[in-house]
Amino acid sequence: MTKLDVVLDRIDADLDASVARWFDLLRVPSISTDPAYATDCVRAADWLVSQLTDMGFEASRRDTPGHPMVIARNHAAGDDAPHVLFYGHYDVQPVDPVELWETPPFEPEIRVVNGVRQVFARGAADDKGQLLTFLEACRAFMSEHGQLPLRITMLFEGEEESGSPSLDAFLKANAGELRADFALVCDTNMYDAATPAIDTMLRGMVYEEVVVTAARRDLHSGLYGGAAQNPIRVLSKILAGLHDDDGRITLPGFYDGVSELAPDIAASWDALNFDADAFLGAVGLSQPAGESGYPALQQIWSRPSCDVNGIIGGYTGAGAKTVIASKASAKVSFRLVGEQDPKAIQAAFRAYVKSRLPVDCSVEFTGYGNDRAFSLARDMPEIVKAQQALTDEWPKQAVLMGMGGSIPIVGEFKRVLDMDTLLIGFGLDDDSIHSPNEKYNLTSFHKGIRSWARVMEALAK
């Protein structure tokens, strides 16, 4: 029996204890965006420090102007062993609307759904279940062998779900302590319930809020209708012009830095046999609405996009109110790929809006982030090792895929610490993260722990 086999057996034997610890953390309502839960965020950070210290890490809570960070290190593997920085976040999204939860969001429960055992709670997947898969793998190594196969530093954040306002300054101030050979991030999904994945491409993001103002106050539409400028009409026309009839984004220079997908990557994605009809049908849609000429998977993973995420203006209550609003606002996000420049796209969007404002209208902008896209070479040695390790654990071969979302920490690690990141997680598309009845399959948790043990052992070779 190999050293790894012993660790895997320990993981299986201790699964009930691992789940109990998971439930302990899930019971802490560490909602970072609501000041009412600030003490709970501290409580979650302290819980992690206690667990890591008990496991043999040097661990500490680091207070910030916002919620605390947790840093832990165990470098007993020696200077010859690779050094990795593992990142996760202990904060969670608010639970609203709470009335849609089938069970209380901070009282975790195991339920069997379609024959699958699932844990329901806020944070079950995002990110408490995911980060604990790595911690429990470390625990098994320490229990059986007294040390880890790698030099490991951990960073757990408490503000990921509220925009990470303290992160940039913290990384810069602690760069010497946090810099490693590469980072590991667990906040991602598998391709499907039987197929593990490594994300080698992430889209970047520009997020803008735009407010158009016309009159000094709301106006009666009978007295002013027809003569007064309506900012809702103005903003609606501007937003509608962001796409042409083929789904392309109309901002000048928007596609600068966008390349066609490499043929070998396109072929590997085609081999996944992605069912766009089923993917869209599950949410009541029937056909892809992105750029014409690109399959749905490329529209999600490797093409840029623009979406209006919210529009506000005028009277939206029950019944009728004949009013012309003085202001109208919208939140607009752009997902970026390749070498697109976030600052250039932000500037192009603002110039586009200003150029289409009629007389008597003014505009204000607020930016909520500018993150570049991220990609890794598919033949990177660490990816090759991790892919084989995951394949050894799951029923199907691990795939290398893109990710339509954005994980700003990955860009921060590259920009501040000059580190690449391996993105390995065990979530599923139906985990309902950020929504009522968030869940994480018990198989994702159990085999996720086993997977990290295999990945750590492979990376150490």
Quick: pLDDT tens for 148-159. Answer: 999 999 999 999
Instruction: Measure the CA–CA gap between 445 and 33, rounded to whole angstroms.
Output: 26
112 φ/ψ angles, rounded to the nearest 5 degrees: -95, 120
pLDDT band at 408 (very low <50, low <70, confident <90, very high): confident
Half-sphere exposure of 49 (CA within 13 A, CB side): 16
Spatial distance between the Cα atoms of 436 and 219, rounded to a whole number of angstroms: 39
| Residue 341 vs residues 30, 108, 374: alpha-carbon distances, Å | 34, 42, 12
pLDDT in tens, 128-137: 999 999 999 9
Given a cut of 90, whether residue 282 has pLDDT beyond it is no
Based on the domain organization, do 362 and 388 belong to the same domain?
no
pLDDT given for residue 255 in this prediction: 98
* Overall domain count for the chain: 2
96, 194: one domain:
yes
Q: Is residue 334 part of a domain?
A: yes
Other CB atoms within 10 A of residue 131 CB = 25
Q: How far apart are CA 225 and CA 231, in angstroms?
A: 12
Instruction: Using a pLDDT cut of 90, give the percent of the chain over it.
Output: 96
Question: SS3 string of 47-114?
Answer: HHHHHHHHHCCEEEEECCCCCCEEEEEECCCCCCCCEEEEEEECCECCCCCHHHCCCCCCCCEEEEEC
Q: What's the mean pLDDT in 277-301?
A: 94
Band (pLDDT 50/70/90 cuts) for residue 260 is: very high
Residues 325 and 364 in one domain: yes
Query: What is the mean pLDDT of the segment spanning 425-444?
Result: 96
- CATH at 312: 3.30.70.360
Residues 168 and 50 sit within 8 Å (Cβ to Cβ) = no
Claim to verify: residue 176 and residue 85 sit in the same structural domain: yes
Q: 324 and 210 in contact (C-beta within 8 Å)? A: no
Question: Do residues 220 and 322 lie in contact, with contact meaning Cβ atoms separated by under 8 Å?
Answer: yes
Looking at residue 51, its pLDDT comes to: 98
Question: Does one domain contain both 364 and 448?
Answer: no
Is 321 a domain residue?
yes
CA–CA gap between residue 202 and residue 197 (Å, rounded): 13
- Which of 371, 387, 421 is a domain's end point? 371
Which residue segment(s) compose the domain that 331 sits in? 204-258+304-371
Q: What is the CATH number of the domain that holds 55?
A: 3.40.630.10
Q: Which amino acid is at 148?
A: L
The pTM score is 0.89
- Integer Cα distance of 87 and 70 in angstroms: 10
User: Within a domain: residue 299?
Assistant: no
**Band (1; pLDDT cuts 50, 70, 90):** confident
Q: What is the average pLDDT value for the chain, to the nearest integer?
A: 96
Contact 383, 200 (CB under 8 A): yes
Statement to judge: residues 58 and 197 lie in one domain: yes
Asked if residue 68 has pLDDT above 90, the reply is: yes
Contact 31, 37 (CB under 8 A): yes
Using CA atoms, how far residue 177 sits from 11, 45, 131, 135, in Å, is: 30, 19, 20, 20
Asked whether residue 98 carries a pLDDT value surpassing 90, the answer given is yes
Specify the pLDDT at position 300: 94
In this predicted structure, what is the pLDDT of residue 406? 83
Please choose, from the candidates 331, 407, 398, the residue with its C-alpha nearest in 3D space to the C-alpha of residue 372.
407
Is there a single domain that holds both residue 183 and residue 220?
no
The band of 348, judged by pLDDT with boundaries at 50, 70 and 90, is: very high
Provide the CA 239 distance to its chain's centre, in angstroms.
Answer: 26
Mean pLDDT calculated for residue range 336-354: 97
Same domain, 326 and 411: no
Q: Is the per-residue pLDDT at 208 higher than 90?
A: yes
Look at residues 344, 360, 96, 44 and name the one whose alpha carbon lies nearest to residue 212. 360
- Print burial letters for 386-424: b (CB count within 10 Å at least 16), e (below 16): bbebbbebbeeebbbbbbbebbbbbbbbeebbebbbbbb
Q: What is the pLDDT of residue 394?
A: 98
How many CA atoms lie within 13 Å of 240's alpha carbon, on the beta-carbon side?
6
Q: Do 42 and 171 have their domain in common?
A: yes
Q: Is residue 205 a contact partner of residue 371, using CB atoms and an 8 Å limit?
A: yes
- The verdict on residue 281 lying in a domain is no
389, 461 contact by CB (below 8 A): no
396 and 408 in a single domain? The answer is yes
Asked if residue 382 and residue 363 are part of one domain, the reply reads no
Rounded to whole angstroms, the Cα distance separating 134 from 187 reads 11
Q: For the chain, give the percent of residues with pLDDT over 70.
A: 100
Query: Which residues are within 8 A (CB) of 255 and not within 5 positions of it... i.e. 6 or more apart?
Result: 248, 249, 304
pLDDT score, position 190: 97
Domain-located, residue 179: yes
Residue carrying the six token digits 């819980």: 47
Specify whether the CB–CB gap between 118 and 441 falls below 8 A.
Answer: yes
Interval 100-127: pLDDT, tens: 999 999 999 999 999 999 999 999 999 9
